[in-house]
Amino acid sequence: MIIKRLLLTLCVCTITNLHAAANNTELKTISDIHSAYKNNSTTAEQLTRTYIDRINALNPKYNAVISIEPTAIEQAKQLDALFKAGKWAGPLHGIAVLLKDNIETTGTLPTTAGSLALKNNITNKDAFVVKQLRQAGAIILGKANLSEWANFRSSYSSSGWSAIGGQTHNAHDVTRNPCGSSSGSAVAVALNFAPIALGTETDGSITCPASVNGVYAIKPSMGQVSRAGVVPLSSSQDSVGPMAHSLKDALAVLSVIQGEDPNDVSTLNVNRKLDSIAPKPSLRIGALPASKFTVETQKLYAKQLQALKDGGHTVVNVEVKDDLSTLYVDEYAILLYDFKAEINHYLSQTPTQVTVKSLDDLIAFNTANKKQEMLYFEQDILQQANAVDLSEKQQYQKTKARYRALANRAISNLYRNNKLDIVIAPTVSPAWKTDLINGDNFKGSSSSLPAIAGTTHITLPVGKVSHLPVGLSVIANQNAEAAAYAYAAIIDNVLGIKKPE
DSSP string covering 399-454, please?
A: HHHHHHHHHHHHHHHHHHHHT-SEEEEE-BPSPPBP-TTT------B--HHHHHHT
**Which amino acid, 498?**
K
**Which amino acid, 57?**
A
Query: Which whole-number Å values give the CA distances from 112 to 27, 310, 339, 353, 416, in the listed order?
Result: 30, 48, 16, 13, 43
User: Do 172 and 186 form a contact (C-beta atoms < 8 A)?
Assistant: no
User: Do 187 and 168 form a contact (C-beta atoms < 8 A)?
Assistant: yes
Rounded to 5°, the CA angle 181-212-466 comes to: 155
User: What is the CB neighbour count within 10 angstroms for residue 393?
Assistant: 11
Judged on CB neighbours under 10 Å (0-12, 13-18, 19+), 112 is buried
User: Do 218 and 456 form a contact (C-beta atoms < 8 A)?
Assistant: yes
103: which DSSP letter?
B
Q: How far is CA 24 from the centre of its chain?
A: 24
Rounded CA separation 319/321 (Å): 6
Rounded CA separation 303/278 (Å): 28
3-class DSSP state of 288: coil
Q: Provide CB contacts within 8 A for 238, sequence distance 6+.
A: 200, 201, 202, 227, 230, 232
User: What is the CB neighbour count within 10 angstroms for residue 3?
Assistant: 15
**Which amino acid, 82?**
L
Rounded CA separation 52/8 (Å): 9
Cα dihedral sign for 411, 414, 416, 422? negative
- List phi, psi (to 5°) of 166: 75, -165
Q: How far is CA 11 from the centre of its chain?
A: 34
Rounded CA separation 315/309 (Å): 6
Q: Which positions are annotated as active-site residues?
A: 100, 181, 205
3-class DSSP state of 218: strand
Rounded CA separation 308/313 (Å): 6
